[in-house]
Structure 1
Amino acid sequence: MTPASVVVAKPSLDERSGETIQALTRGLQVIRAFDARHQRMTLTEVAAQTNLTRATARRCLLTLHHLGYVAWDGKFFTLTPKILTLGYAYLSSTSLPMIVQPALVHLSEQSGASCSACILDGDEAVIVARASAQRFNSTDLGVGSRLPLYCTSLGHILLAEFPSDELERYLQMTVLMPHTPRTLTHPDDVRAAVDRTRAAGYALNAEGLESGLRSISVPLRNTSGQVVAALSATLPVGHGSENDLQGQLLPLLRGQATLLQQMLSA
């Protein structure tokens, strides 16, 4: 199975081919620069976040402001609620989030864990549904959050579906940045983790992306057996050991994945 069959096909067009619109590409770069850590930014900050020139960033921001997607008080730029319509176009065109959300809520209530469903988008995982436990919450994560593949259990599930040549391409093209002292930053370590995931059918990760959190993930397949998403459950390291996750959360995740499979046609 190619990575494209794990939900989202990677675009094959080269920017140099003349068939892509650079202005649109740069506008989307600007939108994606805003996140939980960068909710309000100046023009200079946006340019730095996107590696665009100030002039280019300014044109993008003013265009988005004119269209109503960005607010501007004369100094700081922020996204407006209208930006949600872009994500809603995807959510309303696919049944996956609607099918998965009730299962995640049930899982979270059963386990006390925060539960997510992610799909593959290019070389990242994107959360399409999430249910957060009341006793703890990672404030930076929500529907639409993008996660690296190499240092998350969700990502290892999706990478396990890559053919060997695509996995090697990913490892060669991706900067394995350390997010915590326990982040896997060597290609051999990531490769080994993906191999373990492929053999076991699930992935474990402790503090690879965020200190203090431990997660376990399983693949979500459609009726044809293709992996369409990854399901995860996350707990603080003090609330669940690796054995706890394997013994208690893994059966719950697998049970929900089996039930959901019957509702996901190829």
Structure 2
Amino acid sequence: MAEPGTTQQPEYYVKSAEKTLGVLLAFNGGAASLTVTQVADAADLSRAAARRFLLTLTDLGYVVADGNAYRLTPRVLDVGAGYLAGLSLPRVARPHLTELAHRLDETATLSTLDGQDAIYVARVAAPRLHTVTMNIGNRLPAWVTSMGRVLVAALPEEARERFYRQTVVTSYTSSTVGTLEQLRAEIDKVRGQGWCLVSKELDDGLSGLAVPVRRGDEVIAALNISVQAGRLGSVSIEHDLVPALQETARRIAEDFGGRTV
């Protein structure tokens, strides 16, 4: 029977499993190694019990003695390996793309950069559309799309210059940038403002708005919505659409392991 003021655990509950996890989680404080006393305090164990758990984890290969202290070994990563194996970026992003597509009634897409191309890795069509003409895995020239320019803007300078050298500026519409110098200027603008609008450059009837998806300091993808040209006048790009995309990009990054606070 539980003592007054305590929570009754179910019959199946294995207290030693809780204590083992408590010992492992004691190392989450940021210290590279911990003494037996420090582990005992963090895991709410007696010093003798903490020592027994540490010695057992040492025998199993999850902890190693470091002088008078202990530290974790890389083997602890095995505990989360199964979860991480199923945690792909498209899978993480899809519910967020669905929410964004329904909120804005526009098609939402997640893309990555492969050489000179932006590749669609996840896509949710606007609710008003019955068909989707661009499928997962489809490629578009990165230089002439909003998501591509966001991804190029995030490249290190050397890689960005290599991208420019391999780019052939082609006139898709009368609005397409006409020279490599103009393209450089557009991408410099993207680097400064943190988002990109490409209007009617690839198709006369379509515009694209994109923001980066960041994990720490790394841009891992670009989030884009396709906007019919006639719909742009009814909303504010900077005050309505960009914040909505940035918030969705932040949520995708956090769910994919990008939380920094």
CA deviation map 1:73-109 (0-9, x unaligned): xxxxxxxxxxxxxxxxxxx876100001111110010
Q: Distance in 2 between matches of 1:227 and 1:112?
A: 26
The answer for the alignment partner of 1:27 in structure 2 is none
Q: Larger Rg: 1 or 2?
A: 2
Residue 123 (structure 2) pairs with residue 145 (structure 1): no
1:239 pairs with one of 203, 207, 231: 231
1:252 pairs with one of 227, 241, 244: 244
Amino acid at match of 2:125: S
Change (3 A) 1:247 1:182: same
Q: Do 1:130 and 1:143's aligned partners in 2 also have CA atoms closer than 8 Å?
A: yes
SS in 1 for 2:143: coil
Q: Distance in 2 between matches of 1:174 and 1:248?
A: 33
1:118 pairs with one of 86, 89, 111: 111
SS in 1 for 2:90: helix
Amino acid at match of 1:118: S
Report how many aligned residue pairs link the two structures: 174
Instruction: Tell me how large the CA RMSD over aligned residues is.
Output: 2.1
Change (3 A) 1:191 1:98: same
SS in 2 for 1:262: helix
Change (3 A) 1:133 1:127: same
Residue 119 (structure 2) pairs with residue 132 (structure 1): no
1:178 pairs with one of 155, 171, 176: 171
The answer for the alignment partner of 1:158 in structure 2 is 151
Cα distance, 1:123 vs structure 2: 1.6
The answer for the alignment partner of 2:27 in structure 1 is none
Consecutive unaligned residues of structure 1, counting only runs of 5 or more, are 1-91
Cα distance, 1:139 vs structure 2: 4.5
Q: Distance in 1 between matches of 2:165 and 2:157?
A: 12
Consecutive unaligned residues of structure 2, counting only runs of 5 or more, are 1-84
TM-score by length of 1: 0.61
Q: Distance in 2 between matches of 1:193 and 1:248?
A: 22
Amino acid at match of 2:133: D
Cα distance, 1:125 vs structure 2: 0.8
Cα distance, 1:258 vs structure 2: 1.4
SS in 2 for 1:130: strand
Change (3 A) 1:211 1:168: same
TM-score by length of 2: 0.62
SS in 2 for 1:209: coil
- Give the ranges of 4+ consecutive aligned residues of structure 1 lying more than 3 Å apart after TM superposition: 136-140
Residue 181 (structure 2) pairs with residue 188 (structure 1): yes
Amino acid at match of 1:253: L
Cα distance, 1:218 vs structure 2: 0.5
The answer for the alignment partner of 1:37 in structure 2 is none
The answer for the alignment partner of 2:64 in structure 1 is none
2:220 pairs with one of 219, 224, 228: 228
Q: Distance in 1 between matches of 2:128 and 2:220?
A: 30
CA deviation map 1:183-202 (0-9, x unaligned): 12311111011101000011
Q: Distance in 2 between matches of 1:196 and 1:210?
A: 21
Q: Distance in 2 between matches of 1:137 and 1:149?
A: 26
Q: Do 2:112 and 2:220's aligned partners in 1 also have CA atoms closer than 8 Å?
A: yes
Identity of aligned residues (%): 30
SS in 1 for 2:256: coil
2:102 pairs with one of 95, 98, 109: 109
Q: Distance in 2 between matches of 1:263 and 1:94?
A: 9
Cα distance, 1:179 vs structure 2: 1.6
Q: Distance in 1 between matches of 2:130 and 2:188?
A: 30
The answer for the alignment partner of 1:264 in structure 2 is 256
